[in-house]
Structure formats: structure tokens, C-alpha cells
Amino acid sequence: GAGVSQSPRYKVAKRGQDVALRCDPISGHVSLFWYQQALGQGPEFLTYFQNEAQLDKSGLPSDRFFAERPEGSVSTLKIQRTQQEDSAVYLCASSLAQGRTEAFFGQGTRLTVV
């Protein structure tokens, strides 16, 4: 497809359940970012990949959060033992190169932990 694709669009998880969120970036985009957007807030940075290398994971809120991009294309954000405070929209963005080029965002995955 032409844009960044995220799946699923909506996910309801019971507290304590593990979840995996998928991001398909635009083909050829080197940089990939994950952001967390709580209700009524701006997106907050979670982690950044350049190709398959995770260069910055300073925004991951706890060791329950894990992200990977093994072949430098599709990325997965995994959350273990979900908690209610994990409820948010998780946005993925990709860009052709870092910094000066536009980051294109997916529609996000809305995670609700009950």
C-alpha cells in the first residue's frame, strides 16, 4: 500500500494479557518510530529504528514494552502483562531518512485494557 499500515486498528485486552501491535511502513523508508498517545494528549515518543537497528528506546515506559524490526521493514510493538495505564493509541510513523524528511503516520492502534 501507499501509506503506513497498522494492525489491528482496535484491540481490547484483559489486564495481564500480552499484546502485539504491527506496523507496516512505507516501502523503502529507513526510519521507523513508535509513539503512544493517551486520551486528550499529544503523542509521546517510545522508540526509533534505523533499518533493523533500534537506536533509541528511551521512551519505552517499562520493561514490559518491547519493539523489534528484524528485517528492517515490518515492526512489532509488544506489551507484556498489560495494565490499565497502557490504554492508549499507539502510532507508528516512517520516514525516508532521518530528520529533514517528512514522517508519515499510520492510523494507529487503539488499545483498551480492561
Partner 1 sequence: AQSVTQLDSQVPVFEEAPVELRCNYSSSVSVYLFWYVQYPNQGLQLLLKYLSGSTLVKGINGFEAEFNKSQTSFHLRKPSVHISDTAEYFCAVSVLHNQGGKLIFGQGTELSVKP
Q: Contact positions toward partner 1, by CB under 8 A?
A: 4, 31, 33, 35, 40-45, 48, 50, 55-56, 59, 91, 93, 95, 98-108
Nearer CB in complex with partner 1: 20/30? 30
Nearer CB in complex with partner 1: 40/70? 40
Buried b (16+ CB within 10 A) or exposed e, 50-73: eeeebeeeeebeeeebebebeeeb
> From CA 29, how far away is CA 12, in angstroms rounded?
30
Write down the least CB distance from residue 17 to partner 1, Å: 23
> From CA 64, how far away is CA 93, in angstroms rounded?
21
Distances (CA, A) of 66 to 62, 97, 109: 9, 23, 16
Write down the least CB distance from residue 98 to partner 1, Å: 4
**Is-contact 90 108, C-beta < 8 A?**
yes
Nearer CB in complex with partner 1: 50/83? 50
Nearer CB in complex with partner 1: 62/98? 98
C-alpha cell at 88: 492508549
Write down the least CB distance from residue 41 to partner 1, Å: 6
Write down the least CB distance from residue 1 to partner 1, Å: 13
